[in-house]
Chain A
Amino acid sequence: MKVRVLAVAMAMATAGVACGNASSGGAAGGSGQTEGVSANEIRVGGLAAITGPLGDQYAPIFDGAQAYFDMVNEQGGVNGRKIKIVAKLDDATDATRNASQARALVEQNHVFAVIPVASPLFPGGKYLAEHTIPTFGWNVNPEWSSGPSLFGEKGSFLDFTGASPFYGYLGKNIGAKKVAIFAYNVSQSKDCATGAEKSFKKYGFDVAFNDSSLAFGTTSLDADVQRVKEANVDTVTTCMDVSGNTLLSKTLRRAGLTNVKQYWPTGYDQEALAQFPDLYDGVYFRTGFVPFEEASLSPGLTQFLNEMKKRKPNTKISEVVLAGWIDADLFVTGLKAAGKDVTRQKVIDGINVISDYTANQIEGPVDWRIQHTMNSPTDCDAYMQVQHGKFTPIFKQPFVCYPHDSPTIPTG
């Protein structure tokens, strides 16, 4: 009997050799292009890492999107249709679950569009791209560039490993000479460190070392800080989260290296600052949108803060909440462009012709004709430094803009 089973297995295996692979994404779409749309309602659904160790970093994206839809619905909706978030699914920060929840939104909840999405893992993006579902969310995953129907809040393409001009601009303006880079031994973090090293070298800075061998959840950076000391490094830049960043700051302080300048790519967050005022002190930050502290310079951001205060007074304002708001704004922009006989394709096409989307001057221009698979030709960044326990905008306000491929240190 055993032999027979083995024979079956072998037969199946050899049959497999004889033929090719099925092409992926064959059974796409289906007929229901206007699924989720009725005469007076558009049903959408979102997906976030609501539970899991980092849940509260992602879940609030729903509040931003909901506030925007409430505002639009109060004004009568889009073409007479109100937008309703009918499902808020949780992937529990689990890759497999993220993939099945993305399906659930489309096949079970029959939503017209998936909005908002925020999760550290987004394998579901591939399915949504294959089925050309309009999808809007916080672009922190490589899957966002899987297809023209996926829209991140700041463009869909993430280029971690390429050179970025902002390292040069920031480095020059804070007087950096010798730099050290810290990253985790996980792909995105490592890629970010590669990009940072490339950038600093391109613009003529001395990179003392790039340590991307740190364990996620490391408890000790003492040896690294000892290296910083021995190499006379004056500036450190990280590709880590709040745990690694605050640990680095603490370790630098302990070693007496208080004058070493720090740049953190993440952590522009009031709540974290309130918890770690000592460790945030003096650290440099950068955002691609107008900082909350400079809201008066942007009508869109002013409106966002006012509406949030009115509709979601308990939500703490953060980057992810703003991402939810921008996502909702972009979706509504697409809906308006699609007109009365709305289809998924019309919404997608309506957005993909826009060349300078700024969410009403909240962020630097996004060119949706190219930014699914390419960098923006122009980067706009806002810079801040924590001074006296506050994020304080520095340099040109609200933005400094420069060409992405700038061969020399951009002057802004």
Chain B
Amino acid sequence: MSSLLSYAIPGLPFGCIYALVAVGLVLTYRSSGVFNLAFGAQAYISAAVFYDTAGTHHWPTWAAFVVSVLVVGPLVGLVLDRLIFRHLRTASATVKLVAALGLLVGVPALIQALWFGTKSKLRPPAVGPTPEHFYKWHSYGIDSNQVAVVVATLLVVVGLGVLFRSTAFGLRMRAVVESPRLLQLHGVNAERVATSAWVLSSVLAALAGVLLAPLYARVDSLNFTVLMVAAIAAAVFGGLRSLPLTLLGGILLGVGQEVLTKYLPLGNQLVKGFRPSVPFILLMLLLLFRPGLRNPETADPLAGVSPPPPPLAASLRDERLERLNRVMFPTFVVAFLAVSLFFLPSFWLFLVTQAIIMSVIFLSYTVVMGMAGQVSLCQASFAGVGALTTAQLATNHGMPVLLAMFVGAAVAAVVGAVVALPALRLGGLYLALATFAFALMIDNLVFPQSWAGNGQTGVAVPRPQLGPIDFTANRAFFLLAMAIFAICALVVVFVRRGTTGQRLAAIRGSEVAAETVGIDPRRAKIIAFALSAAIAGLGGALLGSLQGTVSGDSFTYFYSLFWLVLVVTTGVRTVEGAVNAGFALVFVPELLHHLPGRWANLEFVLFGFGAVNYAKHPEGVVEYQKRRSIERVVAWRKRREAAPAPPERKPPADDQEKAEVSA
């Protein structure tokens, strides 16, 4: 027993941190409906401020603590709420999640660009003394930072308890968690309560950031992101509702992880991947089996109805624009092919090919997010599955590369369908979390294995050959990439126009309504996931063949997040959006590398904050601008035509009909 205790006790401080983060997540989720994946980024801000003040500028610890936790913390919460999330109160869960994701990607890079820099920040200072004091209690050792963590958690628990139980403000906060609408009927400004919840949760993020930082040797934003997963598991344990259960979940998880280590055999290859994956696996299991998560938003069936998205920009063209487009588009494609094949230097051709291949991968987002309206945070994992299956089959089993690519896509499709299974019973947010957990599991359990990604070494992928055509040369390979892209784009367009697309559109609007007219949302979602995974897998396989070697490193969870915010910025509903994203991914860094070092991650800032825009323009910024310019041209032409006669305004719906008929 004492032996078990000596494993359990060191887990307590970790459990406390998980609990703090989880409580913060639940607070904002219940009060404003935002599952704040950017919590880790908020923690990073305060950790950076604390490092700079206490570490670099040698402020007294208490002053640095006050500034980073009690000043910067609430300020960040206030800013995020006022500038972004206040405007999203009535938006769908997907929109809120995407905005938070954008911040998760954009904020750390912004902090680095503004002042923190990208250099390693070694030895983050602790709230207690640095180096830590060690205390001994019986045979158990504990250090001053761990004491600080436990004390801080106790204080927070007591503080929140008093706040919620004994103050009017706490009562209102509890009420807003139960039902904001009812609260407003009672004449309470739920808006203000939600803002306060943001501030409070941001203080918790700041506290967690400052307490967490010294557990690592350096301040690194990725540490905060991955640690979030354990906290998410704790929050799900509490049903995203109960604060006491959430606290308990966090502490159990911290202690459980340590105790588990005692019983895990060390020699086993699978165990080696299993141990780092415990939080992810746990999250997945909780999502799948925790009672009470089923249909979380059933209280108000209309709550999930999204207004129909604006029509595609292309459908707004009038007849003359349409005619012009019929000439211009083929001309553009021919010119693009000609320039790429005959004029581009080989390196630029390589980059263009890479951009085309990335566009294929981004088409997978068009299917799963643009059409099905599901947030998937594991598209890079699908691409990785396709790429590594192709590599293994072609290199180690002698299969022709082109065939291996399609087998890779098929395997990815199967994996996609399996991942979609939780979608059968879980709605948007939980599905997104499940895909996040899945991506991290693949990173840790599958990619390092020699039969899959073979760790950092990777696996070779030869260039394919088709009969007499050899795709080894860059030009030939470019044409192959173009052909596969064209096929995938056509598939996406036809599926969107076909029955499946219409069904998905209906489900996207309202699942309940779709079901009442006899649509089976499960089948449609599985198809969407499988198709999307297949496209991603095919793109991944092409990417591997382009590079010559491929390893799991090119497909980690972070790419899933970054690619998502990128596609969302350029346009997640159209083929054009995917192409824009592909070219942006490859060429924006080429442009940015002329900037000074600390701006090197500016792309994350650009696209991260671009994705925050998703709330306003779910069709993507580029698509939105395109629609506006088409509308302007059409309107301008009408005015000119109608110039002699008194100006006559047609309702825009008319144009749409006409455009649809002509299409």
Contact = CB atoms under 8 A, between A and B. Distances in A.
Interface in A206-225: 209-220, 222-224
A53 B116 CA distance: 12
Contacts, number: 240
A243 B11 CA distance: 19
Given A92-B589, A275-B123, A215 B444 contact: yes
B444 A185 contact: yes
Contacts of A210: 266-267
A57 interface: yes
B313 to A, nearest CB: 23
Interface residues of A, number: 88
Contact of A223 (B216, B261, B346): B261
Nearest to A218: B276
A190 B275 CA distance: 14
| Most interface-central of A94, A99, A218, A246 (chain B CB within 10 A) | A99
Contacts of B180: none
A18 B276 contact: no
A217 B473 contact: no
A100 B351 contact: yes
Interface string A183-201: 0011110100000000000
A272 B120 CA distance: 10
B275 A18 contact: no
A50 B119 CA distance: 9
Contacts of A209: 266
A258 to B, nearest CB: 10
Contacts of A217: 216, 220, 222-223, 226
Nearest to A124: B547
Given A51-B600, A57-B120, A224 B487 contact: no
B266 A211 contact: yes
Interface in A111-137: 120-121, 123, 126-127, 130
Contacts of B406: 9, 12-13, 16
Contacts of B267: 210
A95 B465 contact: no
Interface string B160-186: 000000000000000000000000000
A12 B266 CA distance: 46
A222 B460 contact: no
Nearest to B260: A223
Contact of A9 (B470, B487, B498): B487
Interface stretch (B32-40, B131-139, B304-312, B323-331): B131-139
B136 A256 contact: yes
A20 interface: yes
Contact of B462 (A22, A141, A216, A230): A22
Given A13-B406, A223-B258, A253-B134, A21 B271 contact: no
Nearest to B268: A213
Contact of B10 (A95, A142, A223): A223
A220 B212 CA distance: 12
A123 B549 contact: yes
A254 interface: yes
Interface string A62-99: 00000000000000000000000000011010111101
Contacts of A12: 402, 406, 466
Interface string B332-351: 00000000000001111011
Given A16-B401, A213-B271, A187 B455 contact: yes
B634 interface: no
Contacts of B351: 100
Contacts of B120: 53-57
Interface in B343-369: 345-348, 350-351, 354
A107 B600 contact: no
Contacts of A17: 400, 403
B472 interface: yes
A103 B460 CA distance: 17
Contact of B402 (A16, A121, A246): A16
B171 to A, nearest CB: 37
Contacts of B444: 185, 215
Contacts of A222: 7, 10-11, 258
B272 A219 contact: no
Interface string B525-551: 000000000000000000100011101
Contact of A97 (B404, B470, B589): B589
Contact of B216 (A2, A186, A243): A243
A271 interface: yes
B491 interface: yes
B400 A19 contact: yes
A90 B600 CA distance: 9
B606 to A, nearest CB: 15
A58 to B, nearest CB: 11
B456 interface: yes
Interface in B1-33: 3, 6-7, 10-11, 14
B336 to A, nearest CB: 20
Given A96-B554, A104-B347, A254 B402 contact: no
B471 interface: yes
Nearest to A121: B553
Nearest to A130: B548
A53 B220 contact: yes
B463 A22 contact: yes
Given A19-B465, A213-B266, A188 B350 contact: no
B600 A92 contact: yes
Interface string B71-112: 000000000000000000000000000000000000000000
Contacts of B239: none
A242 interface: yes
Given A5-B487, A22-B471, A50-B600, A250 B132 contact: yes
Given A56-B120, A90-B593, A2 B465 contact: no
A209 B265 CA distance: 10
B350 A100 contact: yes
Contact of B464 (A2, A16, A186, A246): A16
A108 interface: yes
B548 A24 contact: yes
A272 B406 CA distance: 49
A104 B601 CA distance: 20
A143 B454 CA distance: 13
Nearest to B347: A107
B622 interface: no
A247 interface: yes
Contact of A242 (B122, B474, B589): B122
Nearest to A108: B347
Contacts of A106: 347
Interface string B586-624: 000100010001001100000000000000000000000
Contacts of B457: 142-143, 187
Interface string B497-513: 01000000000000000
B39 to A, nearest CB: 17
Interface in B459-482: 460, 462-467, 470-474
By Cβ-Cβ distance, the 6 closest A-B pairs, closest first, are A187-B455, A16-B402, A215-B276, A222-B10, A223-B261, A107-B347
7 contacts: A16-B406, A22-B464, A108-B347, A120-B456, A126-B460, A185-B273, A187-B448
Interface of B: 3, 6-7, 10-11, 14, 118-120, 122-123, 131-132, 134, 136, 141-143, 215-218, 220, 222-223, 226-227, 257-259, 261-262, 264, 266-267, 271-276, 345-348, 350-351, 354, 394, 400-406, 444, 448, 454-458, 460, 462-467, 470-474, 487, 490-491, 494-495, 498, 543, 547-549, 551, 553-554, 589, 593, 597, 600-601
Given A22-B401, A92-B600, A243-B216, 8 more contacts: A9-B487, A22-B463, A53-B220, A53-B222, A185-B272, A213-B264, A213-B273, A254-B142
Interface of A: 1-2, 5, 8-9, 12-13, 15-24, 26-27, 50-57, 89-90, 92, 94-97, 99-100, 103-104, 106-108, 120-121, 123, 126-127, 130, 141-143, 185-188, 190, 209-220, 222-224, 226, 230, 241-243, 246-247, 250, 253-256, 271-272, 275-276, 278-279
